[in-house]
Amino acid sequence: MNYNISQYGDSAVLIQFKNEISYEVHYEVRRLYEGLRKQAFKGVKAVIPAYNSITLLYESTLLNLKGIKSIVKEVMQNIDYNSLSSYQIEIPICYESSFAIDKETVLNQTKLSWEEVVSIHSSSQYLVYMLGFVPGFLYLGGLDERLFIPRLDEPRLKVESGSIGLASNQTGVYPMAISGGWQIIGRTPVDLLELSKTVKIEMGDFVKFFPITSDEYKSNKYQPKRMLIHGN
């Protein structure tokens, strides 16, 4: 797959792949990201992946644009995506009305029953495209198109920590109480920020949700694990 490398400030470059959100582009981004991270090239300070690009920060006294282009070419020629490991994390979600604050809107827009919404949402496997816009927020791909709905017209000033929402072709979990405009369909009792101290969820991992009752939510007995599903 083709890519373009351009200067991005005094000591950074932007490595841009095809401008779309897709598994195909993600695999190329991850291949380059993992290669750069594992080989620890001298002068490379940070590698920041996104949906279809990578921002590379470098020490300008040690590297320049020409040198970075050479490094990227070397990595892309030598890193095989099939050699990379993949993991899955299973996260419990309570989809009951007390947590699904946008339930009626979702039902009206999808024309589905709530049982169908829960079944569809919890039966998919979601790819972690990247992490941002706050610590612990997972941008997940793989949402069934039957659940594609727009964001709220006006974002809420506060969305409770653990809330799971829908926005266009994405789903995601709020790791902390912040403002946001995603349509909320449930909540997890798992503290994702606390979980990240022991279970590191990374780009390229997969997330699977499973339904729980409000009583099970209150018991909060869940300790998600990162399970290897491909590779070594």
Residues 179, 60 contacting (CB under 8 angstroms): no
Token pair 């920041």 in the structure block, residue: 48
Domain(s) labelled CATH 2.40.100.10 in the chain stretch across 86-230
Rounded distance between C-alpha atoms, residue 139 and residue 86, angstroms: 16
Tokens of 42: 């001298």
Residues 35, 75 contacting (CB under 8 angstroms): yes
pLDDT tens digits for 84-127? 888 999 999 999 999 999 999 999 999 999 999 999 999 999 99
Helices 114-123 and 103-110 sit at what angle, rounded to 10 degrees? 90
Residue 232 is predicted with a pLDDT of 67
Task: Assign 37 a pLDDT band (cuts: 50, 70, 90).
Answer: confident
Ramachandran bin of 206, using left for φ above 0, alpha for ψ from -120 to 50, beta for the remaining angles: beta
Q: What is the mean pLDDT of residues 142-153?
A: 95
CB-CB neighbours of 10 under 10 Å: 6
CATH 2.40.100.10 fits 86-230, yes or no: yes
Task: Assign 209 a pLDDT band (cuts: 50, 70, 90).
Answer: very high
The helix/strand/coil state of 152 is: coil
pLDDT tens digits for 149-198? 999 999 999 999 999 999 999 999 999 999 999 999 999 999 988 888 88
Rounded distance between C-alpha atoms, residue 141 and residue 23, angstroms: 8
Q: Regarding the domain delimited by 4-83, which CATH topology (the fold level of the hierarchy) does it fall under?
A: Gyrase A; domain 2 (3.30.1360)
Of the candidates 105, 83, 228, 215, the one whose C-alpha atom is nearest the C-alpha of residue 156 is 105
Domain(s) labelled CATH 3.30.1360.40 in the chain stretch across 4-83
Residue 198 is predicted with a pLDDT of 86
Q: Would the pLDDT of 83 be above 80?
A: no
Tokens of 199: 């279970």
Distance of alpha carbon 57 from its chain centroid, rounded? 21
The C-alpha angle 224, 188, 208, rounded to 5 degrees, equals 55
Tokens of 50: 């996104």
